[in-house]
């Protein structure tokens, strides 16, 4: 799928995207637009860092309001993509139903990975999650 279709919101330094694999309902990532000269996530400074935390707070608040995750996991691995990005992985003790689709956190109480890479949901549901998050993010 074209990730531009999954873009939730764009900011000055960051873009917010819904992850195509929704084995964890509401899984999103923040992608740094310009990474020139930035070695890794901990090298982010100033306006980029401040904006990350502002957006991160908005994402977390929207996820909590919409889906009430029991825990949030965050990763900034950059193993596959060299672009600096941070994943927000909501975790759930119980299953969730959204827009006619059931979401079950098969790894509750364990590391979120390895996750089920075969999870595919209908594009209509993906776009509904995207739009619902977009509507519930302040700023």
Name the residue range of residue 84's domain: 3-130
Asked if the structure places residue 136 within a domain, the reply is no
Asked if the structure places residue 78 within a domain, the reply is yes
Asked if the structure places residue 74 within a domain, the reply is yes
Residues 51-94 have pLDDT tens digits of: 999 999 999 999 999 999 999 999 987 766 678 899 999 999 99
Residues with Cβ within 8 Å of 56's Cβ and at least 6 positions away in sequence, in order, are 30, 86, 88
27 pLDDT higher than 90: yes
Asked if the structure places residue 138 within a domain, the reply is no
Domain count, the chain: 1
Read off the DSSP letter of residue 21: -
Domain CATH number, residue 94: 3.30.428.10
**pTM metric for this prediction:** 0.92
CA distance 137 to 103: 22
pLDDT reported for residue 51: 97
SS3 of 57, please?
A: helix
Residues 85-132 have pLDDT tens digits of: 999 999 999 999 999 999 999 999 988 888 888 888 999 999 999 999
């Amino acid at each position: 799928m074209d990730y531009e279709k999954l873009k939730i919101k764009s900011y000055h330094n960051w873009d917010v995207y819904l992850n195509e694999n929704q084995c964890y309902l509401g899984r999103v990532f923040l992608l740094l637009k310009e990474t020139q000269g930035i070695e890794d996530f901990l090298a982010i400074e100033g306006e980029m860092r401040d904006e990350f935390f502002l957006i991160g707070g908005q994402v977390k608040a929207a996820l909590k309001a919409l889906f009430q995750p029991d825990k949030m996991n965050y990763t900034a691995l950059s193993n596959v993509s060299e672009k600096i990005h941070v994943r927000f992985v909501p975790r759930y003790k119980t299953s969730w139903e959204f827009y006619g689709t059931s979401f079950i956190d098969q790894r509750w109480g364990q590391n979120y990975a390895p996750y089920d890479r075969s999870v595919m949901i209908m594009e209509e549901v993906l776009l509904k999650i995207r739009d619902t998050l977009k509507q519930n993010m302040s700023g």
